Amino acid sequence: MQRWRWKLDIMRAVKYFVVILFSILSAGICAQDIKIDAEISTALKDNIYLSKLNYPKSVARFYTDNYSGYSWTDSLQRQDQLEIALALLTRADHYGLSRSDYHLESLSFEKLKQWRDFPSEKNKKEKASFDILLTDGLITFMNHLHFGKYNPLYDSSALDSSRINGFCADELLSTARMQTDFQGAILKAQPKIKAYSDFQAYLDRSYTANNGITAQAELGKIIINMERLRWISTQSDNYIMVNIPSYTLEFHQGDEISDFKVVVGKPATKTPVLESEINYFSTAPEWRVPQSIFLHEILPEILEDRSYLADHNYIVYDASGNEVVVSASTRRQIAKNPYSYSIRQSSGQDNALGAVVFRFQNPHAVYLHDTPQKQFFDRGKRALSHGCVRVENADRLAAMLLSYDGSEYKISELENAILSYEKKDFVLSKPIPIIITYLTCLIKNGKPALYTDIYQFDKPLEARFDQNK
């Protein structure tokens, strides 16, 4: 009995010792974490320190919402992620970005090695600063990957204050820390568009193989065009992309790409850069002539040639929308007050919109359409329109859209409507994203292909990047 009590007393003593030891260790660990918390908390309340950060609100949210007693620099669990993070920032040029934007003057592998080899309490404040700067560097890197540095719609203040199009860099960083593939989770911030992926793969190959790209002109073009691609919000694998400088339209369906030649706007009547969705297309369209074209191009023809209207299937309407019978007297009235009149061109072989027009919402009132002037597609330089995009083989694109939409059975109906000049609307149950962009460089057959900067859009953007070299 006594031996049993003796064993029980020993067990109680051991248990008590373990509890005391655990409490002491826990107190020490908690004290250490509280000290780190205090250093970071103090730094994030210092306006002078916050002014050094690119995204102070995002950094504060990251620590407030996700900080759980450890940091990049003090948690052995995060050492691998910390090294991956530093490696990403030091290889920012592989993504068409500048390493000078991510605090690398204060972040280095040498400091990490020093802390590991010579741990010291006096390093706590320096570690907290390193931790915060690394967080801000990563958030900046992800925002630059996703939105670009000079996005015309969203500046850094807007990105720092709220979620934009479902994207929030500090939330993505928090999620990435929980992932096995930390680097892959960070890089999900990049655009999905194939043209961008081609650029990034080319840069990565070139820097890895040559320790840098020698052709600075090519590098500059790649960087500004990657920036433009980051301004696009489309994330779908299926989309239509019109590139103005290359005079091309690409219909992307996953890995399958169909190419079409296009005619785009003249420098005086530029085709706008935009994003939208094609909801429907129509056969045998009626062309409501824009007032500027009526005033400057068609009105002089009407006044000079009495048969011009009939020869080209134009009908004149007054301000109330009533059809006007054109005679010598009405011609004088039209010439005297042209702003009170408008014209439309009925469908037919000569209709400027051709056999098919593709509609999508946009503030510029532009669209894709067929054209009776097929000879223009044989030209190398095709900046010839008033702003809308003319598509070669528009009937083929229309049939492909029906197949994409799961409506192959309507293709024969489409063909008959085109042949008979019958007006029909074909509404898509799956609207297709359309991107009209301006890329003066693309990767073709593994090499950069440069295109003429027909609207002179490159120089202002190149100047902004040159300032940051």
pLDDT of 214: 59
Tally of domains within the chain: 3
Same structural domain, 236 and 162: no
DSSP string, 87-133: HHHHTGGGGT--GGGTTTTT--HHHHHHHHHS--GGGHHHHHHHHHH
pLDDT of 75: 58
| Per-residue pLDDT band at 35 (split at 50, 70, 90) | very low
pLDDT of 30: 38
Residue 37 in domain: no
Same structural domain, 66 and 53: yes
73: buried, middle or exposed (CB in 10 Å: 19+, 13-18, 0-12)?
A: buried
Q: How confident is the model over 286-310, as a mean pLDDT? A: 83
Same structural domain, 302 and 402: no
Residue 25 in domain: no
| Per-residue pLDDT band at 318 (split at 50, 70, 90) | confident
Residue 24 in domain: no
Which structural domain, as residue segments, surrounds residue 52?
A: 42-189
Active-site pick, 144, 252, 369, 441:
369
Q: Which of 23-37, 65-79, 221-235, 439-453 has the lowest mean pLDDT?
A: 23-37
Domain end residue (candidates: 301, 320, 345): 345
pLDDT of 190: 97
Residue 31 in domain: no
For 50, list phi and psi in degrees, rounded to 5: -65, -30
Same structural domain, 202 and 145: no
Residue 61 tokens read as 């949210």
| Per-residue pLDDT band at 312 (split at 50, 70, 90) | confident
Same structural domain, 253 and 366: yes
Identify the residue whose tokens are 């296009």: 262
* Portion of the chain with pLDDT greater than 90, in percent: 58
* Portion of the chain with pLDDT greater than 70, in percent: 86
pLDDT of 23: 42
3-state class (DSSP) for residue 283: strand
Same structural domain, 449 and 384: yes
Buried b or exposed e, range 350-367, using 16+ CB within 10 angstroms: ebbbbbbbbbbeeeeebb
- To the query of whether residue 388 is one of the catalytic residues in this protein, the response is yes
pLDDT of 32 over the 60 cut = no
Residue 28 in domain: no
Closest by CA to 32, choosing from 74, 67, 72, is: 74
pLDDT of 123 over the 60 cut = yes
pLDDT of 328 over the 70 cut = yes
390: domain CATH number is 2.40.440.10
pLDDT of 358: 97
CB contact set of 331 (below 8 Å; sequence gap of 6+): 302, 303, 306
Q: How confident is the model over 101-109, as a mean pLDDT? A: 90
Same structural domain, 254 and 386: yes
Q: Which of 93-107, 109-123, 366-380 has the lowest mean pLDDT?
A: 109-123
Same structural domain, 203 and 270: yes
| Per-residue pLDDT band at 161 (split at 50, 70, 90) | very high
Active-site pick, 144, 252, 312, 388:
388
Residue 168 in domain: yes
Same structural domain, 443 and 311: no
pLDDT in tens, 267-282: 999 999 999 999 999 9
Query: Rounded to an integer, what distance in angstroms lies between the CA atom of residue 228 and that of residue 231?
Result: 5
pLDDT in tens, 202-219: 999 988 887 656 578 889
Residue 407 tokens read as 């409506």
pLDDT of 456 over the 80 cut = yes
Torsion of CA 147, 172, 198, 92, to 10 degrees: 80
| Per-residue pLDDT band at 25 (split at 50, 70, 90) | very low
Same structural domain, 238 and 253: yes
pLDDT of 200: 96
Q: How confident is the model over 419-440, as a mean pLDDT? A: 96
Same structural domain, 153 and 252: no
Closest by CA to 160, choosing from 182, 176, 136, is: 136
- To the query of whether residue 441 is one of the catalytic residues in this protein, the response is no
pLDDT of 359 over the 90 cut = yes
Domain end residue (candidates: 158, 189, 220): 189
The residue with greater pLDDT, 122 or 267, is 267
pLDDT of 19 over the 70 cut = no
The separation between CA 100 and the C-alpha centre of its own chain, rounded to angstroms, equals 23
Q: Which of 7-16, 184-193, 427-436 has the lowest mean pLDDT?
A: 7-16
pLDDT of 20 over the 60 cut = no
pLDDT in tens, 46-103: 888 888 999 999 999 998 876 554 467 665 657 788 889 999 999 999 999 999 999 9
Same structural domain, 335 and 445: no
Which pTM value belongs to this model?
0.85
Closest by CA to 299, choosing from 323, 265, 333, 270, is: 333
Domain end residue (candidates: 326, 345, 364): 345
Residue 35 in domain: no
Residue 19 in domain: no
